[in-house]
A and B are shown apart, each in its own frame.
Chain A
């Protein structure tokens, strides 16, 4: 299974943009890039996913490098409720999603 590498933790200020990086140099051509987040004492929730093109939804944006070996989750205006662990995961047609340790995002008021 292809692996991802994320920073252990990041800090942001409220109402500022946050860029959460993820490296996935061994990604295969059929792997989608998924992002989930886990709020304290809850199960993970889906944030966004993409294959090659950048993606936007109401929660976030996903910027995918042209060579697909890295991606960035963008929260346009961080709020205190965005404090969570963010997981970057690769998933293909036959691959189970493998969760790593993620990035713990702290948001300061």
Chain B
């Protein structure tokens, strides 16, 4: 069966510090991968998605970036965090666009 992992589970970072969140999927190959952010009390905002190694599509302009160095690894990064980057970050995968997405446990990020 497929599983999706995210780490860390929680993170407190100062403004201006770098960020690296990792997501890995097991039990499937060539998944589509997604990064979402959820601000407190809000819906999910799609940040990036990837249909293959090295292929990244950005949905919203921001100071975050994403990379996919391996088939089942998706990384969310920032060089300098802003207060507004605080939120709940979720990674997800699906076998094909438009099909059921499966979400990871999320990373709660607090930027102070």
The interface on chain A, measured as residues whose beta carbon lies within 8 A of the other chain's beta carbons, has a size of 24
Q: Mark B2-33, 1 if CB is under 8 A from A, else 0.
A: 00000000000000000000000000000000
List residues of chain A with CB within 8 A of the CB of B98: 32, 91-97
Q: Specify the chain B residue showing the minimal Cβ separation from A36.
A: B101
The interface on chain B, measured as residues whose beta carbon lies within 8 A of the other chain's beta carbons, has a size of 23
> Is B44 touching A44 in the complex (CB atoms < 8 A)?
yes
Q: Which of A41, A46, A85, A102 contacts B102 (CB 8 A)?
A: A46
A43 within 8 A of B: yes
> Is A43 touching B105 in the complex (CB atoms < 8 A)?
yes
Q: Specify the chain B residue showing the minimal Cβ separation from A98.
A: B46
Interface SS of chain A: loop
A100 within 8 A of B: yes
B95 within 8 A of A: no
> Is B104 touching A43 in the complex (CB atoms < 8 A)?
yes
A45 within 8 A of B: yes
Within the assembled complex, what's the spacing in Å between the Cα atoms of A87 and B100? 13
Most chain A CB atoms below 10 A, which of B42, B44, B104, B105: B44
A101 within 8 A of B: yes
Give B103 Cβ to nearest chain A Cβ, in Å.
Answer: 3
Give me the interface of A with B, judged by CB distance under 8 Å.
32, 34, 36, 41-46, 49, 85, 87, 91-102
In the A-B complex, the 6 residue pairs with the smallest Cβ-Cβ separation, listed nearest first, are A43-B103, A91-B98, A99-B44, A101-B43, A43-B90, A46-B100
